[in-house]
Every structure is written in structure tokens, then in C-alpha cells.
Amino acid sequence: MQLNRILNFNAGPAALPLIVLEEIRDSFLDFKGSGMSITEVSHRSKWFDDVINDAIERTKRLLQLDDKFKVLFIQGGASMQFAMMPMNFLHNGKTADYVNTGTWSTKAIKEAEIQGKNFNVVASSEDSNFSYIPKNINFNKDAVYAHITSNNTIKGTQWASFPDTGGVPMIADMSSDIMCRPLDMDKFGMIYAGAQKNIGPAGICMVIIRDDMLGQVPDTLPSMLKYTTYASKNSMYNTPPCFAVYTVQLVMKWLEETIGGLDKMAELNDEKAGLLYDFIDSSDFYNGTAATDSRSLMNVTFRLPSEDLEKKFVGDAMENKLGGLKGHRSVGGCRASIYNAATKEGVATLVDFMKTFEKENG
């Protein structure tokens, strides 16, 4: 039977590698000979220990993490991290720096504000509708962290390289570009990523945190809201989201064994994004919305000459089994999210469709 699958350009939840989905399906009634589904095995079993430990070990190898870093799995998405960061690090009047590059940065800042914490917004691209990544930022020496959003899903911008914080530990929300390329972790005190864009399903957030940051966490926080609880219990203080951890494990395995690591992944992502941006730049019909030097490898945002044409574009694309091309409801326009799991062939098919659509409607 022909498999009914579309090319999925959703911004998140997003496409997962087919090989990962197939393994989940094939093992779903009998995980590793346990006679149980992965949703039914105890999180205190050897079966699940192997899953979570392998997910962590593969993550460490892929990002070349040394033992200063702990890999944690926390529920609640990046939004929960927006609240946990100030709670864990901004006690006793301490202050943090935030860079505002869009909707998600703004939400992160709002959660520090709600808690009445001290912070400074040291740079923002709000003056230009968040279409670029700010440069030459002065960070405050007394900040205990400097927060950035490494990729802005809605606006289609991404930090090409990371800023010099003058020694302040950087914390990055990498929900939409974690594992898209190798990472120099030396600059980071913590990174976190809701999994549902690049590394798994919704319902799990990967948090990678350095020992000295863990050392700052006060004992007095609620158990589920302090990083130390997760670090000391291998993310199993209570029942973790087992199915989601398993899916993340399989995505890490795919990255290592099928793709061949993050250098290879970065090459592929460059090629995929290149196909789309080169075509957009060659066309007068499609217009990229992000500043050229701030373009995202993951979310390619563009406009057509009119909103009517944009609506027709999204509809016609869906009829051609190209899904998820509508821009975020807050900004309109079109967006192709081409995360790790999007194939080069899929992106080429999209470019072909865009050419045809331009011919017929341009």
C-alpha cells in the first residue's frame, strides 16, 4: 500500500524523520521484547533506563559536551523555562540581561517581569519588526546570565554566530534550532529546547546546564521547579514523559547513525536553506522578510505580492501535499519550516512548486 505522507513544513510540532516514526510504530505493542508498549513499561525498569541514558549519551556525543554539563528532560516546554530561569538564578536581587529578538524572547522577558526580578533588555530588534539580529551588544558584567533566542521561528531570523558576553554565562532558547549545527558550548551556562521542532514530539524540553549554574539554585524552590531536582535524579524525580524521551532518543540515534553527526547536519541544512533563499532572491514574486545576514536556516519566511495570493499559495500547496506553509497567525505571510527532518528532496519539491505557482499566478 502506498503510504499517504505529505511534505510537512509545519513550524512545530513538526516533521520527524520517517525512520524514527517507523521504529516507533513497529515497536509500539512490544518494546524490545518486553511484551509492553513504551507507554506501558515502568520508568524504573532496565528498559527505560537504557532509553533515557542512551538519549543523554548521544546528546553529549553530538554536542561534544564534557562532564561539566548535565542533560535534563523537563516538562512544560520552553515556556516553563521562561519561568524557571529567573526563579532558579535571580534570587537575592541578582540581575540578568535579555536580548529581545521576537515573540519568544518577549515572552521570556515577561516571565522575569511577572516575578519582579531584576533584568535589563540590552538589545532589541523590535524597531524593525524583529527582522534582524542585533549586533555590538554591551552586556552587563554583573548579570548572572545573558538570555538569547537562538532562532526566531516566527520572524525567520537566527544568530549566525553568538555574541561575546564578556564572560557572562549565556542562556539560549534553542527550541527551533538545537542540533541544526555544531555548537561551541564554552559560551553557554545553559541551553534549552522544547523538542517539538527539531528533536522530538511536544511534551518534553531538553535542558543542558553547566555545573556552576546548578550550584546557584536555591534549595527553597518547589521540587519540580528547581534544576537540581532533575540533575540529582537523572530527570526521574517523578515519572518522566517516557514516550517523548524515547522519541528524542531515536532522533539522536538518527542524527548520529543516519545523518552522521552535526557537521553533516549543518551541511545539509545549509544546502536546504540555500535552495530556498537562492530561489527567493532570484524571484520578484517572492520576498524574504528577514534581513539577509540574519536569515534562519530553519524557518524561511516570505511574502507574496498580495494576501489573496498568499492564501491561494497555501491552499494550492496543500493540494500538492505540501503542508504547513502558512505564516504564524501573528505576522501572516508564508513560512517554510525546514528543520533537520526536512529532506533536501522535499525542499527541492517545494522550490519546484513555488516556480510553477509563480508562472501561473505571477
Q: Give residues in contact with a copy of itself (CB under 8 A).
A: 3-6, 8, 10-16, 18, 21-22, 24-25, 28-30, 33-37, 39-44, 75-80, 82-83, 87, 110-111, 114-115, 194, 196, 201-204, 220-225, 237-244, 247, 321, 323-324, 329
- Residue from 47, 70, 97, 104 carrying the catalytic annotation: 104
User: Which whole-number Å values give the CA distances from 90 to 44, 118, 129, 192, 221, in the listed order?
Assistant: 34, 7, 29, 18, 12
Peptide bond into 13 cis (omega under 30): yes
Minimum gap (Å) between residue 230 Cβ and a copy of itself: 11
Active site residue 197: yes
Report in angstroms how near the CB of residue 330 gets to a copy of itself at its nearest: 11
Query: Residue 4 in 3-state DSSP?
Result: coil
Query: Is there a catalytic annotation at residue 352?
Result: no
Nearer to a copy of itself among residue 42 and residue 128 (C-beta): 42
Which CB, 80 or 217, lies closer to a copy of itself?
A: 80
32 versus 68: smaller Cβ distance to a copy of itself: 32
Quote the CA–CA distance of 216 and 220 in Å, as a whole number: 12
In the bound state with a copy of itself, the residue whose beta carbon lies nearer, of 162 and 237, is: 237
- Short-list 55, 26, 38, 12, CA closest to 256: 55
In the sheet that holds 170-173, the strands lie side by side as: 69-74, 205-210, 188-194, 170-173, 143-149, 95-100, 118-124
CB neighbours of residue 333 within 10 Å: 18
Q: Are 147 and 168 in contact (CB under 8 A)?
A: no
Taking the complex as a whole, how short is the minimal distance between the CB of residue 322 and a copy of itself, in angstroms? 10
In the bound state with a copy of itself, the residue whose beta carbon lies nearer, of 33 and 93, is 33
Minimum Å distance from CB 360 to a copy of itself? 23
Q: How far is the CB of 357 from a copy of itself (least distance, A)?
A: 20
Mark whether 272 is an active-site residue.
Answer: no
CA quadruple 166, 262, 23, 1: dihedral positive or negative? Answer: positive
Q: Which pairing describes strands 188-194 and 205-210: parallel, antiparallel, or unpaired?
A: antiparallel
Catalytic residues: 104, 173, 197
